[in-house]
Structure 1
C-alpha cells in the first residue's frame, strides 16, 4: 500500500484481518490454539513465560508496542498464514501492512516447541525457507562481511587474541 488518500487508507483498514479483533480475544485465540509454552517459545516475551494469563499479557502488550507488534505479526504470518510482506511493507507495524485477504482459508500453522522462534524484525532478517510445503520458517540473514568474534578468544587492545577465561581454566586445572 503506497501512501494514498485518506479514503484509500480507511478502506485498507476496514479489510485488514486484524480489524475488529480485540487484544484479549487475539491472545485467547492464540493460547487456545498453541498454549502458553509454544507462544513463549515462538514469540519470546516474558509475559508468556512466567505466570502467564490473558489479563497480565494484555496489560503488558497494551503498554509495549514492540511486543504487541510481534504478537500481531505472529497472528498474521504464522497463525493465519498470510503471505509474507515485502521489504517496504515489513517496515510498517502489522496493523498498517497490506495483507492479501483473498488467501485467508489456510489452517493455523502446526507448531511444536522444537520450531525456531518467530522473527518479525527487519534488522534481524526475514528469510523464509519452506518446510512441509505449507508454512515458512524464519531464519536470520547472515550479514555479508560481518565478523563474529569467537567465544574462546577476544582481541585485546594490542591486537593479540586473549582468552578471557584463561585464569579460571588454569585454576580449574590446578585443583
Structure 2
C-alpha cells in the first residue's frame, strides 16, 4: 500500500510518501515541502498547494491520502490557512477517487512513538529509525508528513477490520428483526 501523508499548511505543506504492508518494512518513497510565499494572495497560494499536490498524486499514485486533522490553536489565521490547505488536498484526492483519512496529531505521535504527547524531536528520531534513514528529513513538516503516512499505514488494517465487523453486526441485527 502506498500512502501520501500531508501535514497541511499554507507557508509549508509537508508531504511524505511511504510504501508498506503486512509483513513488509515501511519504505520512504519521497518527502518534501510545498512552499508558498506568505505575502502572496491566499487564492494563489491555495492554487499552488493544489497544483503541486496534484502533480505528486499523479506521479506517485498513492492508494490513500492521510491528512492531519486541524486542531484548535490560538492563532485563528494559522488555523484557517491550515484548514484551507487541507481542504484543497482532500479535493485533489477526491478528484482522483483516492480515499482520504484524517488523523489527529496525538494519534500520529502515539502511532510512531508510543506517546501521544511526543515532541517533534522524538517523532523525528522514530521516523528516522522506522524508515531506516541516515538522518531525519528536513524540514520538520516533511517528517510530520511521513509520520502521518506511517500512522495510516499501520492503523488502516485495524480500522478496516473494525468497519467490516460493524457492517457484519448491523447485517446480523437486520436479519434478526
Give TM-score, length-normalised by structure 1: 0.27
Give TM-score, length-normalised by structure 2: 0.27
The structure with more helix, counted as a fraction of residues: 2
Q: Larger relative contact order (C-alpha < 8 A, sep ≥ 6)?
A: 2
Between structure 1 and structure 2, the one with the greater Rg is 1
The structure with more strand, counted as a fraction of residues: 2
